[in-house]
Amino acid sequence: MPKKHEKNKFSITVCGEFFPEIYPAHRSSKWSRGEEDPLTTEMRLFCACMRWAFNRLLEGASRHEIKKSGQELFGLNSRYADDARLKAQALLDSQTELLKLENEETEKKLGRARKKLSLAMRKLAKAEEKGAASEVIEKLRLAVKGRNKRVVSLAKRLAELKDYQEKGTIPEVVFGGRRLWEKVCQGRAAREKWRHARRNRLYSRGDESKGGNPNIKIFYDGQDFRLAVSLSHLSEQTGIDKLGRPRMSQAPRVEGKLWLPEKHRELVQIWLAMKLPYAVELIRTLEGRYLVHLTFELVRVQEPDFAKGCLAIDTNPDGVALCNVSASGQPEPWPEGFSVPYPGNLGKYEGEFQVIPYPNGFLYIRIPDLTHASSFRRSYLIGVLAKVVVDIAFFLGKPIVLENLNFGKDRLDTNKKFNRMASNFPFAKMVGAMYRRAVKEGVPFKLVSPRHTSTIGYWKYMKRYAVPVHCAAALVTGRRAMGFRERVTEELRQLVSQIKQNLTRKVNPDRPGEGKGMTRGVRACLRRLEERLSVHNGLAQSEQEAYNSVWPDLKLLALSVR
């Protein structure tokens, strides 16, 4: 599920690279190790302080205690020590939240596994009672054995998770990466690689009162960006202030050129000119390169205004369906002179970026590589897709509406086809990329519930506008964001009645029997529809979208007759 953003608050991260040029002339005999340079020493001390602060937080130590002791033990200044505590606190909070989430997911998986086990056991009992073939019985016994093992495994895992929650602890955290550590234990990775991952970063948060960032400063000299990193372990005590705190000399700095992408240079220049706070994280790779992550907090996210309508989006594993929704909640043709801004940086092969237009303001943008590309390639394509979608919304002057889908692990089970689709569906990346781009361009953005959008689109709008079900679902998404209720029309009632008549026809006049498609489930579905269709229009919008509304039965009916 996509991360929930605080109202009117959003952050943007800009990635760059740092090229150190000017180092301090001396090294610290107390804190340095071997031939490492002062910047590497500062990173190692910061990461050690973060691991130490994490353990102290588990013991219940206060911020003041960690901050004071961290300075003495690791030679860092107070701000670096507090930043290390903040990183450790963020890690602890995320692990606590993940423990709660995994507990809920495991409970759902265990419930489904027990239902499948009982079903398999009933099938086996019936087969043995009827004296089925030995091959059939052996196959059913194997299924029972496998599902029983899954139930035992999930029950054991759930007991472990609940034990952590009852004790108020979390599973053991491996700094540097658990997977990498397991590879080291198996002899598949060098121990030095894991050690490097434990001491390869330095973080400093921004401070508005200090005009940006006091420990890692960025400035622009008129031609290039420069970066200066404070090395607090090289500062020396010069006295004591009135409160008894040590007074330190100004820490020397490592300075050098900072490379930033061309598309972000103007944003960074404006940010530095306004002296707004920014957070900086410096990461050292195995090859000795220094990557820089700049984070800017944006506090001006516009609220969507649907006076002109909206641009509704239905996300799919291979692209997005768009619908230009008018203020009346109906699809609106694209304005004269409109054309989809084709990205100029694509062109790997013909058909890499497909634009499929439909009448009445519908559009489908398909990128086939999204379903099977590598992680980096997929992220790049999602960024290209987000830019195209936001540019369309900016041209129309309308807010963006998107479904708030949930592909949590609790939905993953023994259905390999669904697991593969859900795992490869980069919905969270799509939402994040579109949200960031919308904030940069000043385009309002809204997420709505995806419940029954495809079913409503299938029954009400797909044939009416002669579009695929994904485009019809996009229209339903936009109408839902604008507060329109989906009523059951007389045409839909007549269609359901006609389907019922077709399903109950006799196959052979001489031999009465059920027609094709009429099963017990469909018969029960039709009985429920007779009751619910008559009262649906009088319900509130939340009741019309509930799980026990008329739409789940219509979905079952659609699947049975297609």
What is the per-residue DSSP string for 389-417? HHHHHHHHT--EEEE-----GGG--S-HH
C-alpha distances in angstroms, 23 versus 221, 252, 285, 287, 312? Answer: 19, 9, 19, 19, 53
| The pLDDT value given to residue 425 | 60
What are the distances in angstroms from CA 141 to CA 127, 130, 271?
Answer: 10, 15, 67
Q: How many CB atoms lie within 10 A of CB 164?
A: 16
Whether the Cβ atoms of residue 151 and residue 117 lie closer than 8 Å to each other: yes
pLDDT of 279 reads: 94
Q: Which helix (H) or strand (E) holds 228?
A: strand 225-230
- What beta strand segments (E) does 380-538 contain? 400-403, 445-448
Quick check: 84 and 50 in contact, CB under 8 A? yes
- d(CA 8, CA 252) in angstroms, rounded, equals 38
- The Cα–Cα gap between 506 and 496 comes to 18
Phi and psi at residue 11, in whole multiples of 5°? -120, 150
Q: Give me the residues of the chain with pLDDT under 70, please.
A: 1-10, 243-246, 248, 299-301, 347-348, 406-426, 504-518, 561-562
* pLDDT at residue 316, as a whole number: 86
- The pLDDT of residue 3: 42
Specify the pTM.
0.70
Is-contact 112 413, C-beta < 8 A?
yes
**pLDDT at site 328:** 92
Q: How much is the pLDDT for 2?
A: 38
The pair of structure tokens assigned to 339 is 């054309």
3-state secondary structure at position 123 = helix
